[in-house]
Amino acid sequence: MRKQNIRNKIKSEINIVPLLDILLVLLIIFMTIPIKLIQKFEVNLPNSDITKNFIKNEKITITIEILNKGLYNLVLDNTKIGPMPLTQLSSEINSQIHSNKTANTLCLIAASRTTTYNEIVVILNLLQINGIHSVGILTNPSH
């Protein structure tokens, strides 16, 4: 009779090991899914409601226009130079910075909405290599 009482008694223990296994698997799943979603995320840059005039403090303003097919325009003092490939753009920027020898150089990037993110990153890397750390992106005011 005593054996039956023990068998019929309900166990009130929670087995933690399988619960932790399930939680860790779920954690891994929820950590990897957002990474895959972010990699496929497309950015469509919006228009800007507020524009700042931060050019007045800079001594040199360089504007780089990203064109199609790996070509770029360089605008210095309202003078457009280009279209040119990336290697020529790098040498032009380098010569302009070293000829003026000023630390306050601002570079503005002008690109269309269809410009790939990779092209902008290539320009940002080029500017960093040439020692330009003040960079802005031109937008259209949404008036």
pLDDT at 27 (0 to 100): 94
Kindly provide the residue ranges of all beta strands, DSSP E only, lying in 4-137, ordered along the sequence: 60-66, 72-76, 79-84, 105-110, 134-137
Amino acid at 68: N
pLDDT at 105 (0 to 100): 77
- The rounded distance, in Å, linking the Cα atoms of 90 and 6 is 83
**SS3 (DSSP) at 59:** coil
pTM, full prediction: 0.56
Question: For 5-62, how does the pLDDT look when each residue is reduced to its tens digit (9 = 90+)?
Answer: 666 677 777 788 888 999 999 999 988 887 766 655 444 545 665 555 555 554 677 8
pLDDT at 4 (0 to 100): 61
**Where does residue 134 rank: exposed (0-12), middle (13-18), buried (19+ CB within 10 A)?**
middle
pLDDT at 80 over 70: yes
Instruction: Tell me which fold the domain 55-137 belongs to.
Output: Nucleotidyltransferase; domain 5 (3.30.420)
Higher pLDDT, 120 or 23: 23
